[in-house]
Amino acid sequence: MEDFQILIGGAAGQGSKSAGRLIARVLNRYGYKIYVYEDYPSLIRGGHNFSLIRVSKDNKRSIKRQVDFLLALNKDTLERHRDKLSGRGCIIYNADEVDEAEGIGAPIETIATEVGKKIMQNTALCAYFCKAVGISEGVMKEVVETLPAPDKNLKVAEKAYQKAEKENDLEDIGDPVPLVTGNEALSLGALEAGLENYFAYPMTPSTSILHFLAGLETECDVQVMQPENEVGVINTALGAAYAGRRSMVGTSGGGFALMAEGVSLAGISETPIVIIESQRAGPASGVPTYNAQSDLNFALNAGHGDFLRFVFTPGDAEEAFYLTNLAMNLSWKYQVPAIVLIDKDISESTFSFDQSVMEKGEYWEESRGECGKHYDRYEDNEFGISPLCYPGKEATVRNNSYEHNEYGTTTEDPDEVVKMQDKRMKKKPLMEEEIERLEMVKVFGEGKKALVTWGSSKMAAKEAGKKAGWKVIQIMSFAPFPEKRFKNALEGVEELVVVEENRLGQAAEIIKRYTEVDRKVLKYDGRPFYEEEILNELN
């Protein structure tokens, strides 16, 4: 099997997500590349959750409409998704809940209750799948052993495996690789750039950054703080950054709205900070556990007054790692806020992580001052980048939210006001050059027809482009915008279609400043693009 897709679903609380993870880990051991999309409503019990697991030899990272294995923890899952089954498809369903249906009826509740606990029915369903797809009992057990309550889970898995039938043979095609979510990848990228303090208030889909880094506090020397609200988050983080710590905050659109004053404060006080903005469907509370790419304009414009920023838009886990690492290094290099604008389908999706990106994980020492007795925090020099000193040594370090002179003292003098704004703007050409030096525009394939995309939409766009013979151009920085590289990528292109997940076509409107846009392919139902959806628009 080269490429197949599994759907596992159930009610919230039935453990469909952890079952999905278990299956992903088992298939990872056979060397298959994994992409897991999580679909769940905003509730704790009931409803309908499912994971789509794309399994391929060549690391396909999009979801298809058709599923090859439908694993149903409950009747609802079966009814909702039965029609998606492909011709070669196989259904395994909870026979304790569904009397009779097409496919393999697995008495998973009975097995789980007999030798383990009822909650372990998800493990039983996984074991049925493992046997059916051709995974050895040994490999399955290696993974089950790592679950909580391993003894009981092992008993459940063994018993279910015995009862199940083998339907396929599965070839072992390689070594396993780390399976990480976008949020985990970006956290690791930040750690490689020297992250010392993370501040966040819980908000889907950024919350798992908070969980992941809090879990690493004792291992990776990072301090994780959950302040009272997002206003507290950004201001506390800026305090820590001022005092010398590499600091990062994480949130989604609503929390970022509360942080906007702090973005502006970082701008005028030239305090470095990395802001992770993981988008979800808005406006306001919107559709909280579903995806959108509708905060691009907001990320580019949040914060009152004129100031510079970086805004990066990763499209998968490796890019989340690299661009967060870069964001932190660049924020400290230029002393401007750096925003990593990610979205739910990267944040919470699981990826077979290509570790070669680790080579790009760097730590750049910021430009430090001599920090002697006389120190101008806002020294005006050729590049507009004043050397950094932190309080606690000989130098007196004075940050200011008001317009200020070089020493950091408040000023309303018209000449000083102009001088300091000009000073900060000196960084603009440097930041633009820096971005042009980096590969902020990716090009996949070639042709006279091109798709332009960004963020998680790149995953389906890339697959669709490949099939349709279209060039795919991905933009990874919107501030500064990599104009030269983008125009190079457009050479020879006669038809241009922009693919993104929002109603307005926010990126398309920005792209129109540089070229003509023939069409927009927009999706805004909260669900990721299926490959076929984009493909249909191209043919």
Partner 1 sequence: MSDINMETENTWCPGCGNFAIEAVTKKVIKKIGRNKTAITAGIGCHAKIIDYVNVNSFYGLHGRPVSLAVGIKLANPELSVLAFSGDGDSLNEGISHLIHAAKRNSDITVVIHQNRNFALTVKQFTASSPKGFVSNSSPEGNVEEPLNTLEVANSAGATFISRSFSGDIEHLQETMEKAVEHKGFSLIEVLQSCPAWYDTNSYYRENSYKMEKVPKNPDKKIREWNYDGEGKIPLGVFKKQEKPTYEEKMARKGKKVSVEEVLKSKI
Contacting positions for partner 1 (CB under 8 A): 28, 176-180, 184, 188, 191-192, 196-197, 199, 216-221, 223, 225, 227-229, 231-232, 235-245, 247, 261-262, 265, 269, 353, 355, 358, 361, 373-374, 390-394, 396-402, 404, 407-410
> Nearest Cα to 108, choosing from 160, 151, 63?
160
Nearest to 78 by CA among 65, 64, 95: 95
Cβ–Cβ under 8 Å, residues 341 and 311? yes
Task: Name the residue nearer to partner 1 (CB basis): 403 or 509.
Answer: 403
Whole-Å CA distances, 268 to 265, 305, 335, 531: 5, 9, 10, 44
Token couple for 459? 């995953």
Please report how close the Cβ of residue 257 comes to partner 1 at its closest, in angstroms: 15
Cβ distance to partner 1 smaller for residue 60 or 246: 246
Closest approach of Cβ 218 to partner 1, in Å? 5
Query: What 3-state class would DSSP assign to 46?
Result: strand
Angle between helices 427-437 and 414-425 (to 10 degrees): 10
Between 136 and 235, name the residue whose CB sits nearer to partner 1. 235
Considering beta carbons, is residue 232 or 447 the nearer one to partner 1?
A: 232
Contact 323, 192 (CB under 8 A): no
Smallest gap from residue 273 Cβ to partner 1 (A): 11
Q: Which is nearer to partner 1, 179 or 498 (CB)?
A: 179
Instruction: Give start and end residues of each alpha helix (H) in 30-144.
Output: 75-81, 108-115, 121-133, 137-144
Task: Kindly state the smallest distance separating residue 457's Cβ from partner 1, in Å.
Answer: 25
Q: Cβ 44 to partner 1, closest distance in Å? A: 26
Query: Closest approach of Cβ 188 to partner 1, in Å?
Result: 5
Q: Find the shortest distance in angstroms from Cβ 428 to partner 1.
A: 24
**Between residues 227 and 387, which has the closer beta carbon with respect to partner 1?**
227
Comparison of 87 and 148: residue with beta carbon closer to partner 1: 148
CA 387, CA 416: separation in Å to the nearest integer?
20
Q: Which residue from 34, 199, 10 is spatially nearest to 120, judged by alpha carbons?
A: 10
CB of 318 to partner 1, least distance (A): 12
3-state secondary structure 329-360: HHHHHHCCEEEEEEEHHHHCCEEECCHHHHHH
Cβ proximity to partner 1: between 239 and 286 the closer is 239
Task: Give the C-alpha separation, 217 to 224, whole Å.
Answer: 7
Dihedral sign, CA of 379, 381, 384, 388? negative
Angle at CA of residue 301, ends 296 and 305, nearest 5°: 170
Min dist. Cβ of residue 358 to partner 1 (A): 7
Q: Work out the number of other CB atoms within 10 angstroms of the CB of residue 390.
A: 15
Residues contacting 400, CB < 8 A, separation 6+ = 268, 269, 408, 409, 410
3-state secondary structure of 84: helix
Smallest separation, CB 450 to partner 1 (Å): 34
Nearer to partner 1, 238 or 441 (CB): 238
> Where do we find the tokens 């299926």?
530
Closest to partner 1 by CB, 26 vs 112, is: 26
- Shortest CB 532 distance to partner 1, Å: 31
Return the closest-CA partner of residue 237 out of 225, 255, 254.
Answer: 225
Side-chain-side CA neighbours of 246 within 13 Å: the count stands at 26
CB within 8 A of 15, min separation 6: which ones? 73, 119, 121, 122
In the complex with partner 1, the residue whose CB is nearer, 173 or 220, is 220
